[in-house]
Each structure stands twice: as structure tokens, then as C-alpha cells.
């Protein structure tokens, strides 16, 4: 009974408590209406204190404890505006690069000036000063220590060197910096420093130099600090090398069994691709681990290496695909070439097969090169820009690019047609000079290349939106070509043009004996595009530029001999005491008794001049063998010497006789010398009317 009563009282108590809790109004403020709080407008301007002009696109930020920060950007006049509740706020001003250049504490509320203008210097903003002194463990001031403060976002760095007192000072914008101190080429301090707005912080930094370690100790210290990473690098290298060695072993076994298959043009590029990718993977793994150990490598090398590595890997893959496609193209056209149609006839001509092979090969190389170029640009962070603009570029210039491809095809076709044309002309016209044909073929090919090249360059400029520059380019090239042609006589083009003139006009043939360049006598061996080869009388081969040949007189002895002979001449001086007819008869006898001298036309003798001590005579002897002209002339001179000695005459001046023995010739000797020739020699001496007149005294 007591138990039941207690249970009833307990139930009644629970019900009472529930009723009481329901009757109490809820204290949940979220359901209540938030009281209205007053708001105030904070505005102002941000101007340059040097020019008093507004600073556009600068960030103005307001913040206080327990308040969600607000940020706006200044307009073209440098003004800003906020709607804020009352309270104490801090206003910050940042440049477009994120550098803090201004800060101010303001109280917003009634009876307050809710307006503030910033007059700032955006180039040299107010900065925080970090200064101090660097000493060693013995409190010696360290001179020449390098102190630097570096901030990454936004990037800012300032570096200085301690003076003789070990002091330094650095001005930087407020923010969090990495403090790096180097002394005697070693990094001593690597710490962080945080500076607030316009703060002046001074520090005394001590560097422990008591246990300045040697190189060996440095190595031990480095190994003790990074032994895990070093072991990982070594293990990774060994694993990659093991796998690569295993791959080479498999390759070696396959090569022994199927050498013909393994050394084919299909598998060789794949083997090389795997080897190069292995080397690239080893380099990337090693550099990644080194970047984990070395902070400079991580900041300045590894930041760009992944993009470059992917670009190189992609380029190697594209090269592999190009080689496989080129080999497939070769096999495809070889297969098509061996196929025959009805009645055993070939499907397409051989020239067309060659042309299609060239077009497809160049198309594969051009597309592959373009993809590799895009991959290289991607390594420099230009992938998004390339993707966004490539579609617009191809859509805007598709017609011009097809025109460029058509130009390439036209060039190849034109080259093939020129080859076929000159081959046909050479096979049908045997009388044409092969050198003229070769020079004409080269000239026509060069002209076609030049014209199509100009059109190609102008189209490229048009694709790049530089049509006016393309017109100027063509004009300049045309002027340059005109100048080159006008001054061609002094250069290689002049030699080529001169060679063309020589081959066309033919002033000499191969094997002719000629004289060029004022005294060079020899036989023509060949006439080329640039040089004419002559073998002189001493057997030397001389290459003469065609320009020099054409600019000088050309004497063709071979053609002169074939047109009735030409004369070799000898000059001789004899005394005034010897009768001219006697001299003439003796000289003609010497010429006619020499081998190689023609009797028709007969040799002729003239008096060329009166010297102070003698009379100068010239004998002309006609020859028809240009190859032995020098020997014939030598024979004439030798005969002259023998005949004059037999006659007691000397080919010298009379003064030589006077001074020889100190005796002058007697009157009888002079009379004998001046005696006319005998009647037997008169017939030989005849033939010159003026000498006959002189003998008759007329």
C-alpha cells in the first residue's frame, strides 16, 4: 500500500513538472524579432599625395572584433563607401597587387565624422622597420652578414648586409616574412618574423660560431638530417634501374629469338621511347626528393619541373606516334604501288605515287610539329589561353591555312613538272649544251621558289593580322633582289650570270688554247656555273671566276689557227750599220727554216722603232698549231741566233762592240756589214714594197 502510494505521488509530481514547463514561455531568441540597430555610412577617398588624383581599383577593407569584414574597391575617382553599425573599426587600404599601403582606426556612430580621406604614396607606402644587430656567441659584432626578409603572397623581398658594427635595417610592408641570415657562405638563421602596420621592431640576433663545422661535418650533419629522403632516392633509383634492366633482359631474349621482328622499323622507336621515358622518370623522381630536402630547389626548380616534364613526355610520345605513322605511310604506299589493276596495269603513275608519299609525310610532320609546339607553350602555363584562342584562330583563318597547304602542294608539283620537262628536253635535243640545261633548270626552279615563297610569307603575315607589314616586306624583298641583280657582277650571282653568258655565247670551246687576264695562256678544261678551269703551259690547273673571264680580253689561239693561222712575233735590235734588206732576208730565212712555220702566208719583217743605239725589227711567223706555239717561237729565235752568228752579226747595239775590247770597228768592217745581200737572197727579202723603195733610193 505504501509502495502504491509512493508510485502515485511520483506520477503526480512528473505531471506537475510537465505542466509547469509548458506554461513557462520559451526563451528561444531565434523566434523573437531582432531589435533594429542603427547603421551609418562611412565614405571617403583614396588619393595620391603627390598628384592629388584618385587611386582607382584599390581595395578598402573594414574590420573589427566580432564583425564580418567588408571590402570594396575604389572607383575611377578613388572614392569608397560602407554601411556599418556603430563601433570601433580598422580601415585597411591595399594596392592592386595586394600590398598594404594604408591603415586607420575610426569610431563609427552618432555625433562622429564618418568620413575619412587617405592621402597615400602608392610607390613608397609607409612601411614597417625591422632592424637590429648580429653578434656571435662571444658577443663579437659580425660584419658582412647577409640579412633578407621574404614574403611570398604578395611577393616582397628586401636584402641588406651588416655594417662594421654588425647592424642592419630593413623597410618592408607589414606582413609575415621569412628571415634568412647567411654568414661566410652558410645559412645561419631561418625563421619567421611578423610585422604590423608601421611597426618598428629591433632585435639582437646571436649566431653560434663555436662549433663551425668542416665540410666533412657538414656532410655528416646533412646526412643525419635527411638520411630517410636519401635512402628513398637511392631505393627508388635502384628499383627503376632494376625494372629497366629487367626490361632490357627481356628485350635481349626476344632479340635472340626474333631478331628480324625486333629490329624492325616498328619496334625500334618503341624501344627508344621506353628508354627515354625511363630516364625522364628517374630525373623527375630524383628532383622531387631533392626538392623535399632543399628549399631553394623546391621554390625555384620544382615549381616548374612537373609542367616541363609532362611537356617533354608528351613530346616524346608525339615523336613516337610520328615515327610509327611515317613508317606506316611508307608501307601503305609501297603496298599500293605493288598493286595492279586490270590486265596487270599499275593503278597510278610512279610520279603520282612519289608526290602523294611526299604530301602525306610532310602533313604528318607538320601536324606533329604543331602539337609539340603547343605542348612546349603549355609548359610555360599558356594552356588555357591556347585552348581558348586556338578555336577562334582556326575558324578565322581556315581558308588561308588551306591556301598555304595548296601552295606547298603547288610547289611540289611545279618541281616535279620542271624535272620531267627538262628530262624530256634533254632526251630529245642532243645538241643543247648540258650546262645550259642545268643552269636553266636551276634558274627556273629558283624563280618559282622565290615567287611562291613571297606569296607564302604574305599569307602568313595576313594570318597574323599584319597585312600592311606583309606588303612592305614584299616591297623590300623586291628592292633587295633588284639591288642584288644590279650589283651581281661583284658576287656569286655575277659569276653565275657570267657563266651563263659564256656558255651561251661560246667565246671558246673545251680544249681551246686561249689567253685571258692579260697574259694567262692555257687550255680550257671546263666551264662551270661559278668558275672556268684552265690548264696553263706549266701544267697547273687554275680556277678563274667567270666574272674575271668575262671582264677581260679573251684571245682564242685555236680558232685563230683554224681561220688561216696566226702569227708569233719576235723583236730584235741590230746596229745602224747593218743594211735593212740584209736583216730582212736573214730574219725570213730563220723563220722559214724553223719547224711549224707556215710558208703561206709568208713571214714578214718590219722596222718597229729607232732606238738610241740600235734599230728595232719585228718578225711575224704564221703558225697553225696553237698547242706548240711557244716551241715554234723558240725555234725561230734559235734559228735567228745561229744565222746571225754565221753571218758575223750580233744581236746587240754597236756600243757593245766598242766597249768589248776597247776597239772600235774599222771602216772595212762597217762597209761589209752595210753591203746589201746577194742576188740569191733578194728573192727571200722581197715582198715589202717600202723596203724595195728604200733600196732604190726613192
Give the pLDDT confidence of 190-224 residue by residue, as tens digits: 888 888 777 778 888 888 776 655 566 566 666 77
Of 116 and 432, the structure prediction assigns the larger pLDDT to 116
Among residues of the chain, what percentage have pLDDT more than 70? 72
Question: Same CATH topology for 492-559 and 565-695?
Answer: no
- Let me know: does 166 contact 134? Beta carbons within 8 Å: yes
| Cα-only R_g, the chain | 53
Structure confidence at residue 79 as a pLDDT band (50, 70, 90): very high
Task: Output the pLDDT for position 62.
Answer: 92
DSSP string across 137-206: TT-PBPSS-EEEEEEETTEEEEEEE--TTSEEEEEE-SEEEEEEEEETTEEEEEEEEEE-TT-EEEEEEE
- Per-residue pLDDT at 672: 57
Measured N-to-C along each axis, helices 383-428 and 434-463 cross at an angle, to the nearest 10 degrees, of 160
Read off the pLDDT of each residue in 11-20 and give the average, rounded to a whole number: 61
Task: Tell me if residue 2 falls in helix, strand or coil.
Answer: helix
For the chain, the domains span: 40-120, 128-209, 382-486, 492-559, 565-695
Model confidence at 468, in pLDDT bands (50, 70, 90)? low
Given a cut of 90, whether residue 645 has pLDDT beyond it is no
Helices (H), 464-593: 467-486, 492-505, 546-551, 557-562, 580-592
Q: Does 271 have pLDDT greater than 70?
A: yes
Of 105, 111, 101, the C-alpha closest to 91 is 105
> Mean pLDDT across the stretch 226-253?
77
* Contacting residues for 39 by C-beta, under 8 A, at least 6 apart: 83, 84, 85
> What's the CATH code, domain 492-559?
2.30.30.60
Phi, psi of 569 (to 5 degrees): -125, 155
Determine what percent of the chain is predicted with pLDDT higher than 90.
Answer: 3
Highest mean pLDDT among 30-34, 435-439, 500-504: 500-504
Q: Which carries the bigger pLDDT value, residue 688 or residue 62? A: 62
- The stretch 643-662 carries a mean pLDDT of 64
Judged against a pLDDT cut of 80, whether residue 490 lies above it is answered with no
Answer whether residue 263 shows pLDDT above 70.
no
Q: Which residue has the higher pLDDT, 329 or 148?
A: 148
Q: How far is CA 402 from the centre of its chain?
A: 28
Report the distance separating Cα 633 and Cα 298, nearest Å: 91
At residue 659, the pLDDT reads: 47
- Res. 695: pLDDT tops 50: no
Q: Mean pLDDT check: name the lowest of 297-301, 432-436, 595-599, 629-633.
A: 432-436
Does residue 1 carry a pLDDT above 70? no
Give the architecture-level CATH label for domain 565-695. Answer: 2-Layer Sandwich (3.30)
Average pLDDT of the chain is 75
What is the rounded average pLDDT of the residues 555-569?
Answer: 75
Q: What is the pLDDT of residue 524?
A: 86
Average pLDDT, integer, range 382-395:
66
Query: Is residue 661 over pLDDT 60?
Result: no
Choose the CATH number for 40-120 among 3.30.428.10, 2.60.40.1120, 2.60.120.10, 3.30.70.20: 2.60.40.1120
* Phi, psi (deg, nearest 5) at residue 589: -65, -40
Query: Has this prediction a pTM greater than 0.85?
Result: no
Q: How many CA atoms lie within 13 A of 142 on its CB side?
A: 24
Is 524 buried (19+), middle (13-18) or exposed (0-12) by CB count in 10 A? Answer: buried
Lowest mean pLDDT of 13-17, 84-88, 138-142, 462-466, name the range: 13-17
Residue 74: pLDDT band with limits 50, 70, 90? very high
Most confidently modeled of 130-139, 260-269, 380-389, 454-463? 130-139
Cα distance between residue 201 and residue 130, in whole Å: 5
> Residue 687 CB: number of other CB atoms within 10 A?
14
pLDDT at 698 over 50: no
Residues contacting residue 619 through CB under 8 Å, at least 6 positions apart: 569, 570, 572, 587, 588, 590, 591, 603, 604, 605, 636, 640
Position 555 pLDDT exceeds 60: yes
Domain 128-209 indexed as CATH 3.40.605.10: no
In sequence order, the 6+-apart residues with CB closer than 8 A to the CB of 383 are 377
Amino acid at each position: 500500500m505504501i509502495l502504491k502510494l509512493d508510485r502515485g505521488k511520483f506520477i503526480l509530481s512528473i505531471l506537475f513538472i510537465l505542466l509547469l514547463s509548458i506554461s513557462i514561455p520559451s526563451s528561444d531568441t531565434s523566434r523573437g524579432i531582432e531589435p533594429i540597430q542603427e547603421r551609418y555610412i562611412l565614405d571617403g577617398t583614396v588619393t595620391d599625395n603627390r598628384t592629388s588624383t584618385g587611386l582607382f581599383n584599390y581595395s578598402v577593407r573594414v574590420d573589427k572584433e566580432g564583425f564580418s569584414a567588408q571590402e570594396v574597391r575604389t572607383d575611377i575617382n578613388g572614392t569608397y563607401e560602407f554601411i556599418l553599425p556603430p563601433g570601433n573599426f580598422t580601415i585597411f587600404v591595399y594596392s592592386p597587387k595586394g600590398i598594404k599601403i594604408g591603415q586607420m582606426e575610426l569610431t563609427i556612430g552618432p555625433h562622429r565624422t564618418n568620413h575619412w580621406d587617405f592621402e597615400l604614396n602608392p610607390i613608397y607606402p609607409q612601411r614597417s622597420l625591422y632592424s637590429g644587430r648580429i653578434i656571435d656567441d662571444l658577443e663579437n659584432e659580425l660584419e658582412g652578414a647577409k640579412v633578407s626578409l621574404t614574403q611570398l603572397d604578395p611577393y616582397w623581398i628586401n636584402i641588406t648586409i651588416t655594417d662594421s658594427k654588425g647592424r642592419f635595417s630593413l623597410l618592408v610592408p607589414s606582413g609575415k616574412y621569412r628571415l634568412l641570415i647567411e654568414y661566410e657562405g652558410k645559412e645561419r638563421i631561418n625563421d619567421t618574423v611578423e610585422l604590423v602596420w608601421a611597426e618598428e621592431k629591433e632585435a639582437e640576433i646571436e649566431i653560434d660560431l663555436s662549433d663551425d663545422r668542416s665540410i666533412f661535418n657538414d656532410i655528416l650533419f646533412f646526412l643525419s638530417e635527411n638520411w630517410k629522403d636519401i635512402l628513398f632516392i637511392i631505393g627508388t633509383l635502384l628499383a627503376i634501374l632494376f625494372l629497366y634492366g629487367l626490361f632490357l633482359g627481356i628485350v635481349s631474349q626476344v632479340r635472340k629469338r626474333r631478331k628480324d621482328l625486333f629490329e624492325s622499323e616498328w619496334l625500334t622507336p618503341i624501344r627508344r621511347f621506353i628508354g627515354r621515358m625511363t630516364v625522364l622518370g628517374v630525373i623527375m623522381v630524383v628532383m622531387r626528393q631533392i626538392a623535399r630536402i632543399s628549399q631553394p630547389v623546391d621554390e625555384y626548380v620544382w615549381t616548374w619541373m612537373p609542367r616541363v616534364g609532362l611537356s617533354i613526355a608528351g613530346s616524346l610520345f608525339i615523336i613516337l606516334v610520328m615515327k610509327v605513322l611515317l613508317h606506316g605511310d611508307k608501307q601503305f604506299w609501297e603496298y599500293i604501288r605493288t598493286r595492279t589493276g586490270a590486265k596487270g596495269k599499275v593503278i597510278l603513275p610512279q610520279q603520282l605515287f612519289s608526290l602523294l608519299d611526299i604530301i602525306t609525310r610532310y602533313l604528318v610532320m607538320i601536324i606533329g610539329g604543331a602539337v609539340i609546339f603547343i605542348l612546349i607553350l603549355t609548359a610555360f602555363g599558356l594552356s588555357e589561353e591556347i585552348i581558348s584562342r586556338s578555336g577562334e584562330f582556326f575558324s578565322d583563318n581556315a581558308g588561308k591555312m588551306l591556301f598555304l597547304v595548296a601552295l606547298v602542294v603547288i610547289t611540289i608539283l611545279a618541281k616535279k613538272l620542271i624535272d620531267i620537262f627538262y628530262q624530256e628536253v634533254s632526251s630529245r635535243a642532243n645538241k643543247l649544251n648540258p650546262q645550259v640545261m642545268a643552269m636553266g633548270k636551276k634558274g627556273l626552279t629558283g624563280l618559282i621558289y622565290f615567287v611562291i615563297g613571297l606569296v607564302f610569307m604574305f599569307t602568313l603575315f595576313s594570318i597574323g593580322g599584319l597585312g600592311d607589314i606583309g606588303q612592305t616586306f614584299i616591297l623590300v624583298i623586291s628592292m633587295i633582289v633588284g639591288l642584288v641583280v644590279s650589283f651581281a657582277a661583284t658576287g656569286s650571282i655575277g659569276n653565275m650570270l657570267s657563266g651563263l653568258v659564256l656558255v651561251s655565247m661560246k667565246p671558246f670551246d673545251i680544249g681551246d688554247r686561249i689567253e685571258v687576264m692579260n697574259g694567262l695562256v692555257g687550255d680550257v678544261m671546263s666551264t662551270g656555273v661559278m668558275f672556268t678551269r684552265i690548264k696553263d703551259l706549266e701544267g697547273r690547273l687554275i680556277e678563274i671566276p667567270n666574272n674575271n673571264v668575262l671582264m677581260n680580253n679573251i684571245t682564242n689561239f685555236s680558232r685563230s689557227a683554224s681561220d688561216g693561222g696566226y702569227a708569233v712575233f719576235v723583236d730584235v735590235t741590230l746596229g745602224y750599220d747593218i743594211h735593212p734588206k740584209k736583216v730582212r732576208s736573214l730574219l725570213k730565212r730563220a723563220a722559214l727554216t724553223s719547224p711549224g712555220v707556215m710558208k703561206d702566208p709568208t713571214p714578214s719583217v718590219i722596222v718597229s722603232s729607232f732606238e738610241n743605239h740600235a734599230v728595232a725589227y719585228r718578225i711575224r711567223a704564221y703558225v697553225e698549231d696553237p698547242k706548240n706555239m711557244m716551241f715554234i717561237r723558240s725555234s725561230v729565235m734559235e734559228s735567228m741566233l745561229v744565222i746571225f752568228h754565221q753571218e758575223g752579226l750580233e744581236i746587240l747595239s754597236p756600243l757593245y762592240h766598242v766597249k768589248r775590247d776597247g776597239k772600235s770597228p774599222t771602216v772595212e768592217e762597217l762597209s761589209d756589214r752595210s753591203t746589201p745581200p746577194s742576188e740569191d737572197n733578194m728573192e727571200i727579202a722581197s715582198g715589202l714594197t717600202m723596203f724595195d723603195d728604200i733600196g732604190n733610193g726613192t
